[in-house]
Structure 1
Amino acid sequence: MKKIVINGGKKLSGSVTINGAKNSVVALIPASILADSPVTLEGVPNIQDVHSLIEILNSMHVKTNFDGSTLIIDPTEMVSIPMPSGKIQSLRASYYFMGALLTKYGQGVVGLPGGCFLGPRPIDQHLKGFRALGAIVENELGAMYLRTPVEGLKGTRIYLDVVSIGATLNVMLAAVKAKGTTIIENAAREPEIIDVATLLNNMGAKVRGAGTGVIRIEGVDELHGCRHIVIPDRIEAGTYLALAGAIGTDITVQNVIVEHLEGLVAKMEEMGVPMTIGEDNIRVKEAQLPLKPINVKTLPYPGFATDLQQPLTPLILKTIGKSTVLDTIYTKRVKHIPELVRMGAKARVEGDLILLEGPCELKGVEVEASDLRAGACLIIAGLMAEGTTTITGVENILRGYDDIIRKLTDLGADVKMIETEHTII
């Protein structure tokens, strides 16, 4: 079992370079199997979710070569087999194989997805989209059986009842080779949607309107291989920006698309954190206390990202006064709060609302990263805290943050990852 050990209280400085977007690449990889020749993805983060997806590809005889940050996917000898449940349950984004297999083979068997538990995360909108295109979808013994009718999938108009990144992407994958035109209404507008649409168009698809609420897809007969550069990870960037505000003296976050971070930047500026915005970087200087309290409400893009409310929380604890966080996307994304309370935070959950009061002095204790972004939150809190913080549940953190120990060490943090023997009693 891995643990992260942090000796906190040290001010950090320097620069950190952001990797490719996790939330893009977990959809770009399944999308790549739609090609009839190799696809090269550049800027792929070296994270556990990527390795899990590669194992799934290899089990279907897809050849892969992951060298540095470049991933080559060769689906020319791919076969359709039932998806291995172990890896399917290790990450939620495995559900993108539903749309991809439905398009490539007209059928597929995919286990129900796993990933971090953040409360109810139904896939009903995904299935609604598949059925609207003409697919037959059945749930048998915890696996989804998908197949198309003899005449194949047909383009249609699909209205998503809720704005869903996953459903938008999955329907896009299912519709790119459907006969006629598919129109997705109330589509998600996140940058990752645009990134996947760009890959598909480079492969020969005809996807228009990505990044808006209405996406139009003209079905094509063939898709070919291409080369694609993954966009920078706005959530990783936001995590290091929050860290810089909380414990940095002068930190520059490199390789960012500033427009993707407007919600977070606005809140940090509202608090009083001094920032200089560059063309592809953001420099954060040491904040002059006191910081002002804020109210955060997560919303679909371009609103404040749900994935950033947890990493921002330790910085909010440095404000003077009362702040609130309301996550309208995942209302149960609150498991970081009891851990912060154990460290000395003045925080509690009332209904769906997180109530925070600062300032407060954090003390190092042993805490558990219950999910990916909660882990990021606890790392920042540990860097702020006096004494030693030990974080368990590290596997959750490694799902989404590439080379995090080296990056923190390069900024001056006293942090290490250790292996321990885990005895089951």
Structure 2
Amino acid sequence: MDRIRITGGNALRGIIPISGAKNAALPLMIASLLTSDTLTLENVPHLADVEGLMRILGNHGVDIAVNGRRERQENDYSRTIHFTCRTIADTTAPYELVSKMRASFWVIGPLLAREGRARVSLPGGCAIGTRPVDLFLEALTALGADIEIDGGYVNATAPKGGLLGARYRFPKVSVGATHVMMMAATLANGTTVIENAAREPEALDLANCLNAMGAKISGAGTKTITVEGVASLSGARHRVLPDRIETGTYAMAVAMTGGDVTLEGTDAALLETALDTLRQTGAEITATETGLRIVRTGDRIMPVDVVTEPFPGFPTDLQAQFMALMTRSSGVSHITETIFENRFMHVQELARLGARISLSGQMARVEGVSRLKGAPVMATDLRASVSLVIAGLAAEGETVVNRVYHLDRGFERLEEKLTRCGALVERVSE
């Protein structure tokens, strides 16, 4: 099993290219199930989750060509992948595939819309909370689907003649459930109105792609999305938006270590709240022609309180990274997690590096320390793993991060990008 070895103490200086967003690429890939034509996606990142989803889509009959060929391209950050699903080969998404990645459960929407039936295993994924599928199933039920859970599988059947447009209000904001309902509604009979919808940029990106395929979606990016069902969708070409979580992660790494880094190919509008928060810590952030420039020249990191919220609030996917930054602040900060009930598993690992963090329910009190000291640590989930890397970059001595397969799920060539900016980071294989 691979490990990441970090020798801390170096300021980051240089250029880091920002990859396409994992959280946008996955639903876009799944949308290929809605059409018999080819969906071409540009700027698709090299990630374990993307590779895993390609295997799942292949199981359903999707033919996949990477950069016009079937083999993986290793020398290019930006991949173009062509997805063609002439016919659905199988409407079952088996446990052995779905259990490895939660987002793969989302195939239930397109399968149900196009074929009228789907049998999908209940999902797995990171252990950061229960994250039930109730919202997904209630949304599909509102569209007329008959849902039955049996033997760990969700069996869904559409009415004869297809799904039916409906008005549905989510009891709580869910990005995944918004994706699924929006995709299913594109082929439903009539008009669907989704209230209390997720406003995340990834939901808007999916809507833009679906519209390019012939869907009729309006209001994406707001709390109310309207979908007028169409008889069929065609192929399209779409570019995956930049990864705002990767952007925020590297911005926090620069704030942690000091230095001057330009994040190329990203957009400040995707994470304004997080960037404003980062500015309060003392980082200087300016827009450039190619992306964002992050600079921190001062010795002090100012403490800032944070509450995670759905977009446009502070992202839960940046909570662990920001906590790592606050471990070196010049005071006390409070971080409140409102999205997931079990997303503080990185606290004990940060403590191994010398962090002073105490928990009270869903709030963490972080008392900044003057120094962190390298130690062996263990990644527990995707975002927690990169928080340990950020802490290790500023720690004295050597930090070894175990279970880096979590990192590979969501960060493309992390050690290479950091090394190019002066960090001492290497992957070690046992």
Measured against the shorter chain, the TM-score band is over 0.9
- SS of match in other structure, 2:44: coil
Distance 1:280 1:110 in 2: 42
Report how far residue 205 of structure 1 moved: 0.4
> 5 Å matches for 1:88-107?
88-107=98-117
State the Cα deviation string for residues 211-257 of structure 1 (Å, max 9, x = none). 00000000000101110000000000000000011113111111111
Contact kept, 8 Å, 1:258 with 1:280, in 2: the verdict is no
* Secondary structure in structure 2 of the residue aligned to 1:377: helix
Q: Which moves more between the two structures, 285-294 or 319-328?
A: 285-294
SS in 1 for 2:344: coil
Matched to 1:59, the amino acid is N
Q: 1:69-101 CA distances to partner (integer Å, 9 max, x unpaired)?
A: 111101014312421212211111012101011
**Deviation string, structure 1 residues 288-322 (Cα, Å, up to 9, x no partner):** 13222110000010000000111112221221111
Aligned to 1:389: 399
Q: 2: distance between equivalents of 1:392 and 1:328?
A: 28
- Pairwise CA RMSD of aligned residues? 1.1
Residue from 223, 246, 253 that aligns with 1:243: 253
Partner secondary structure for residue 418 of structure 2: helix
The one-letter code matched in structure 2 to 1:389 is T
Q: CA deviation at 1:412?
A: 1.2
Q: Does 1:115 align with 2:105?
A: no
Match of 2:413 in 1: 403
CA contact (8 A) 2:267 2:292 kept: no
| Alignment match, 1:28 | 28
Q: Does 1:412 align with 2:422?
A: yes
Deviation at 1:136, TM superposition (A): 0.6
Instruction: List per-residue Cα deviations over 1:244-284 (Å, max 9, x = no partner).
Output: 11113111111111111111111111111122223552211
Q: CA deviation at 1:122?
A: 1.2
Conserved 8 A contact 1:293-1:320: yes
**TM-score under structure 2 length normalisation:** 0.96
- For 2:39, the equivalent position in structure 1 comes to 39
- Pick one of 267, 287, 303 that aligns with 2:313: 303
Q: Normalising by structure 1, what TM-score?
A: 0.97
- Matched to 1:385, the amino acid is A
Secondary structure of 2:341 counterpart = coil
Is contact 2:357–2:367 with CA below 8 Å preserved after alignment? Answer: yes
Q: SS at 1:399's partner residue?
A: helix
Distance 2:177 2:315 in 1: 17
Following the alignment from structure 1 to structure 2, what is the Cα–Cα distance between the partners of residues 360 and 393? 28
Q: Are 1:273 and 2:283 matched, yes or no?
A: yes
- Cα deviation for residue 15 of structure 1 reads 0.8
Q: AA paired with 2:127? A: F
User: Which ranges of structure 1 fall in alignment gaps of 5 or more residues?
Assistant: 421-425
- Using the alignment, how far apart are the partners of 1:390 and 1:319 within structure 2? 23
* Contact residue 128 and residue 340 of structure 2 kept, 8 A: yes
What is the alpha-carbon distance in structure 2 between the residues aligned to residue 280 and residue 385 of structure 1?
31
| Aligned amino acid, residue 45 of structure 1 | P
Structure 1 residue aligned with 2:327, among 314, 317, 323? 317
Q: Which amino acid aligns with 2:21?
A: A
Q: Give the alignment partner of residue 384 of structure 2, picking from 374, 381, 405.
A: 374
**Alignment of 1:2 onto 2:5:** no
For the residues of structure 1 that align with 2:89 and 2:60, how far apart are their CA atoms?
5
For residue 332 of structure 1, what is the amino acid of its counterpart?
Answer: N
Distance of 2:120 and 2:242 partners within structure 1: 29
Residue in structure 1 matching 2:302, options 285, 292, 296: 292
Q: Distance in 2 between matches of 1:261 and 1:363?
A: 31
- Sequence identity of aligned pairs in percent? 40
Tell me what 2:59 maps to: 59
CA contact (8 A) 1:185 1:214 kept: yes
What is the 5 A alignment of 1:93-242?
A: 93-242=103-252
Is the 8 Å Cα contact of residues 282 and 296 (structure 2) preserved in structure 1? no
- Once residues 277 and 331 of structure 1 are traced to their aligned partners in structure 2, the CA distance between those partners, rounded to angstroms, is 35
Q: Deviations over 1:332-374 (max 9, x none)?
A: 1101110000110111211111110113311111111100000
Corresponding residue to 1:256 among 249, 258, 266 = 266
Aligned partners of 1:25, 1:291: CA distance in 2, in Å?
Answer: 34
How many residues are matched?
420
Tell whether the 8 Å contact from 2:139 to 2:168 is kept in structure 1 after alignment: yes
1:416 match: secondary structure: strand
Distance 2:312 2:163 in 1: 32
1:350 is aligned, of 344, 353, 360, to 360
